[in-house]
Amino acid sequence: MEESDKSIYNLRHDFSKSSLNETDVNSSPALQFDSWMKQTLDSKIEEALAMVLSTVNKEGQPSGRILYLREYGNDNFAFFTNYHSRKGEELIENNRASLTFFWRELERQVRIEGTVEKHSKEASDKYFYSRPYYSKIGAWSSPQSKVIKGRAELEGFVSDFDKRYQTEDVPRPEYWGGYILKANYYEFWQGRESRLHDRIAYTLQGENNWKVERLAP
């Protein structure tokens, strides 16, 4: 363990690509996020839409997992999943959650906090029917977050649903659909030299009124 500690102590990377100042950012965090997201997509960064969704259960135990942002705008951020999964169950117990994006190539991070509610049936249908065939089959086949006997059992579920739906459109399971995180806090992080990073936070105060502050790194 000590030898491993020594080897990772020296793994360092300084940040120097850009800066972030209060005068640079948009007064709207939603528009600031849109600007950074567009720059990220224009830069052809892999997995630009990947984000960590963090939830907390009723006992206060946090958990995080990586999934994809599928819609955003007006301080709303949408993702889709199995409602019976661990994250789905935790969101029933506690609907407060956070999203974290990290774009290494641009030395940027965005944290977004807020409350989560289910997306509309229409939006869930629209996204589900846009998915590839086997992604739809996968939604039926996986009892997400539940204990299974092995890979063979999962592949058996896939085979069964493949046979069932191969000649018809795959319907959306009632237990699968979208969520929207409604943001009440944003933090934009730009890496800087000597770990003196730029951090600009937006906190919602009242309806659509955002307080903008610089945080110490």
CB 158 within 8 A of CB 137: yes
The H or E element that residue 121 is part of is helix 121-130
The residue with tokens 């977004």 is 112
Closest to 99 (Cα-Cα) out of 84, 116, 124:
116
For residues 163 and 18, give the distance between their C-alpha atoms in angstroms, rounded to a whole number: 53
Name 33's Cβ contacts closer than 8 Å, sequence gap at least 6.
72, 110, 112, 186, 188
Residue 173 dihedral angles phi and psi, to the nearest 5°: -65, 145
SS3 52: strand
* E strands, 107-166, in order: 108-118
Q: Is 195 a catalytic residue?
A: yes
Q: Which of 172, 195, 199, 214 is catalytic?
A: 195
Catalytic residues: 195
